[in-house]
Structure 1
Amino acid sequence: MIIQKTYYPTTALEDWVTNFYLRLNIQLPQEINEDNIAKEQRIFLHRKKIAPFYQIVGRYRGITIDIRESKNMQREMFFHELCHILRHSGNQILMNKAFRELQEWDTKNFTKYAAIPHHMIQYIPLTDENVIDHMVSIFKVTPKLCEERLIQIKKGINQSSLKNCVLTLN
């Protein structure tokens, strides 16, 4: 069921994530599945009682997520590590601090966009007073991430509305 259509100018990273999902034929929130995404990308997905990490050794690519965390947090861990594999290169231990921080900034935003992609905003009841609870239920991530993403979405909508208002006045 489509709740509403909501559009705003997207970032290049939002577009990248949407295009990634559409190439995988992921169009609905329930189609976001870590195991399927990993399989499609030829990434081995491991769940263990250790801190999350990714690994690339030759042709092997793997993500390990911590099963001691909640399912919703595990999903966020997966997106974080997936971003490193898909978008980054180099060993962070050997990188200068500024480049490492840039990669972590990219990963933090990628996680929000991969968890709640722009092309699925239409399924979020933005005007509902329990919108965060709905987002948690729909996208299977933590309330904290949902709140952060909701702030981004509303900011984008407000900026778009302000821009349209200015254009109308001219």
Structure 2
Amino acid sequence: MSYTKTHLEEFVEALYRNMNIEHPEQIDMELISRRLGILIDYIDTPSKSVYDAGFVMILINKQVPLPVQWQEFAHELAHILRHAGNQTLLPDGLRMMQEWQAEHFAAYFCVPGFMLEKIELPSSLQEAIPIISEKFNVMPWFAAARFNQWFHRYFF
């Protein structure tokens, strides 16, 4: 059986490889933002992205745990890389679609398949989740959802 990567998987892999990031240990929000020319600041309100006329910034909620900050960074990065315009001006259906796309991107970006496939994981999902959560600095529920998604695409 051969595995065909989705366009999103190819996009994420190319993005990481262009930044010379090949292993989970190299993933660092500050490094990624610098390499992409995106400023980061930490705020006391919900995370969001701001971009206008070449100025790009991700504002991260500093009140949430670090894994959630990383997941929110990836979500906001999706809006910067894959969407245009002011989301608040969009009809609800289109805004909801962009939110779904950003969540989907965040899963692929926070736990990239090309890195996940190189990790030797136990056969039990319950044993694999803490390993993925720690290696990729994501919440356990996020690790479980991404592993299930990847496993079903990769093996079925």
1:150 aligns with 2:124: no
CA contact (8 A) 1:29 1:120 kept: yes
| Structure 1 position 90, deviation (Å) | 1.3
Higher RCO (CA 8 Å, separation ≥ 6 residues): 1
Residues 90-131 of structure 1 deviation map (CA, whole Å, 9 limit, x = unaligned): 111111222212211211111000111011012151514410
Question: What residue number does 1:22 align with?
Answer: 17
Of 82, 90, 108, 1:87 maps to 82
CA RMSD of aligned residues (A): 1.4
Matches of 1:11 and 1:105, distance apart in 2? 16
1:132 aligns with 2:115: no
Identity of aligned residues (%): 27
Matches of 2:52 and 2:105, distance apart in 1? 23
Q: How does 1:1-170 map to 2 (within 5 A)?
A: 8-121=3-116, 122-128=118-124, 129-159=126-156
Matches of 2:44 and 2:120, distance apart in 1? 33
Moved more, 8-17 or 27-36: 8-17
Q: TM-score if structure 1 supplies the norm length?
A: 0.85
Matches of 2:98 and 2:73, distance apart in 1? 16
Moved more, 126-135 or 106-115: 126-135
Matches of 1:109 and 1:8, distance apart in 2? 19
Going from structure 1 to structure 2, the CA distance change for 1:76 and 1:124 (only over 3 Å counts) comes to: farther
Which consecutive unaligned segments of at least 5 residues does structure 2 have?
none
Q: TM-score if structure 2 supplies the norm length?
A: 0.92
SS of alignment partner, residue 106 of structure 2: helix
CA contact (8 A) 1:45 1:64 kept: yes
Give the greater-gyration-radius structure (CA).
1
Matches of 2:50 and 2:154, distance apart in 1? 37
Matches of 2:150 and 2:44, distance apart in 1? 34
Aligned length: 153
